[in-house]
């Protein structure tokens, strides 16, 4: 194979990889797979590298423009995953083996919800989500709703919490009737758990940082999960497996 055919092959491969990453990401969203798409910047970087090698072998205006665009796209993808979409690691104040601290909030129907409601006949999966404005969060809640029978068999209830007001939370409760929806608009539960994400709302307001906390029947924290990015959420199976592993009867 000649040098000319080599660089042509590299450039075609770069174009294919450049389109493959976004195509896989669209497929991921349509399939509702809630995972951080690390393949996106990885494929983008590989595409940019191959295009650059091909352009250095035989430079044309078209190749130079396309290579520059591929480099910009790869840089944008890394910036999104490592900057905009990245979540900080959980740093407290909750601690595994300690009782959940005191707070006073309210369910979507307006009834009181506090730390005493985290203890009882069932263990609790406390799931913090951004709000109704977040389509990824609604996908997450839909996955949880569909598996409510499996949660019930494990004696586990799912409580979902956001900064949404009672009106929006009531809509969420109606949409996902087997979940317990907490309208923590006063952010007392969110502050007690230390999961506030300042200015994360598209309108510039605050939101809850996606976090899942498993609490046993005595109200003691047994497991804390913070995803690495906003697109990553626990599957129902991951929650069930963690419950079996971490929450003792």
- The more confidently predicted of residues 92 and 214 is 214
DSSP assignment of 142-183, as one string? HHHHHTHHHHHHTTEEEEEEES--HHHHHHHHHHSTTSEEEE
* pLDDT for res 3: 54
**Tell me: the pLDDT tens digits for 30-47?**
888 999 999 999 999 999
Q: Is 87 left (phi over 0), alpha (psi -120 to 50) or beta?
A: beta
Q: Taking Cα atoms as reference points, which of 78, 11, 21 lies closest to residue 51?
A: 11
Stretch 132-142: mean pLDDT: 96
Average pLDDT, the chain: 94
Superfamily of structural domain 104-246: Glutaredoxin (3.40.30.10)
Q: State the helix-helix crossing angle for 3-30 and 61-79, rounded to 10 degrees.
A: 40
**Tell me: the pLDDT tens digits for 167-181?**
999 999 999 999 999
Write down the domain spans for the chain.
Answer: 3-84, 104-246
* pLDDT for res 128: 98
Q: Is the dihedral of CA 208, 106, 101, 141 positive or negative?
A: negative
Q: State the helix-helix crossing angle for 166-175 and 135-146, rounded to 10 degrees.
A: 40
**Tell me: the pLDDT tens digits for 224-237?**
999 999 999 999 99
Q: What is the pTM of this model?
A: 0.87
Stretch 202-213: mean pLDDT: 94
- Residue 155 pLDDT grade (very low, low, confident, very high; cuts 50, 70, 90): very high
């Amino acid at each position: 194979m000649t040098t000319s055919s080599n660089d042509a092959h590299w450039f075609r491969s770069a174009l294919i990889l450049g389109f493959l990453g976004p195509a896989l990401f669209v497929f991921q969203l349509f399939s509702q797979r809630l995972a951080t798409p690390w393949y996106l910047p990885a494929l983008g970087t590989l595409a940019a590298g191959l295009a650059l090698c091909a352009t250095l072998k035989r430079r044309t205006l078209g190749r130079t423009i396309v290579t520059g665009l591929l480099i910009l796209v790869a840089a944008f993808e890394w910036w999104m995953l490592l900057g905009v979409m990245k979540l900080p690691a959980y740093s407290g104040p909750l601690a595994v083996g300690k009782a959940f601290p005191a707070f006073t909030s309210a369910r979507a129907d307006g009834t009181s919800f506090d730390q005493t409601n985290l203890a009882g006949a069932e263990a609790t999966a406390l799931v913090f989500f951004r709000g109704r404005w977040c389509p990824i969060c609604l996908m997450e809640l839909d996955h949880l709703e569909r598996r409510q029978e499996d949660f019930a068999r494990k004696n586990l209830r799912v409580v979902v919490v956001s900064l949404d007001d009672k009106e929006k939370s009531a809509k969420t409760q109606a949409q996902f009737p087997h979940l317990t929806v907490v309208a923590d608009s006063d952010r007392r539960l969110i502050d007690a758990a230390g999961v506030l994400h300042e200015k994360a709302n598209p309108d510039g307001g605050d939101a809850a940082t996606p976090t899942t906390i498993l609490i046993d029947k005595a109200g003691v924290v047994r497991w804390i999960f913070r995803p690495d990015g906003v697109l990553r959420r626990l599957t129902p199976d991951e929650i069930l497996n963690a419950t079996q592993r971490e929450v003792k009867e």
